[in-house]
Amino acid sequence: MNILDRFTLKGQIAMVTGAGRGLGFEMARAFADAGAHVFVTGRTTETLEAAAHSIVEAGGSAEAVAFDLTDASARGSAIDRIVGRHGRLDILVNNVGARDRRPLTDFEDRHIAALLDTDLLAAISLSRDAVKVMAAQGRGRLIFVTSIVGEMAMPGDAVYPVAKQGLTGLMRSLAVECGAHGITSNAIAPGMFATETNAALAENPDMVAFARQRVPLQRWGRPDEIAGAALFLASDAASFVNGHVLTVDGGMSVRM
């Protein structure tokens, strides 16, 4: 078999959370380009439908599924809908990540709970339901989008890294727990990406200078530059990669 053939996702079913735009959309588009049918999920129907339409217009296969990730019933229904329609789920990307930058002393318990619910607890629940399906079919790929801030601290951003480190712990636990079922579990830790959410920051002269100083490639990442890492982990090219955090940050996290 040609090594490039191992990157195909032809006939596979993928679900990407938070895929209406940004990194989630780029990962979904890459999966569709590789032959998968992709469920583009998130909260806003219009955004998701536009994203799915864009993928289809480019020759891929995708559909939008809108639901609130913090709604336990809606999460379960989304998995049921996918499996009911296609009989399987091959790839789950837990990508959603809300952020609230402020000192911990400014948080109330309800704010902390809301962030953890979105960034961590929802991924635990979705992964549990996906694992049941993947174990029955004897194969699956779990991918968790964490962050380099799980390892690198900065002031005024205490709760988000807690959730991201929690995802890393979940990923490693599932790598051990689910490997015997043919399921791999890995993570992608992005650095500074110029997504729609970060557009103002990426254009700020001070942050441009910061990237030049701290990132060895001296720039912010383009959203599409996440796609190769996601496709690799989702494909048979990574069939023996399990329990790994793939950092995609231009070298920022290794610079002294």
Q: Is the per-residue pLDDT at 241 higher than 80?
A: yes
Q: Is the per-residue pLDDT at 99 higher than 90?
A: no
Q: Is 49 a catalytic residue?
A: no
Alpha carbon separation from 138 to 97, 143, 232 (Å, rounded): 29, 17, 20
Write down the pTM of the prediction: 0.96
27-58 as b/e: b if 16+ CB within 10 A: bbbbbbbbebbbbbbbbeeebbebbbebbeee
Q: What is the pLDDT of residue 201?
A: 86
Q: Is the per-residue pLDDT at 256 higher than 80?
A: no
Q: pLDDT digit string (tens) for 149-181?
A: 878 878 888 899 999 999 999 999 999 999 999
Q: pLDDT digit string (tens) for 181-232?
A: 999 999 999 999 999 888 888 899 999 999 999 999 999 999 999 999 999 9
Q: What is the pLDDT of residue 200?
A: 87
CA distance 170 to 183: 14
CA distance 4 to 29: 18
Q: Which of 160, 193, 220, 232 is catalytic?
A: 160
Token pair for 218: 């001296």
Q: What is the pLDDT of residue 154?
A: 80
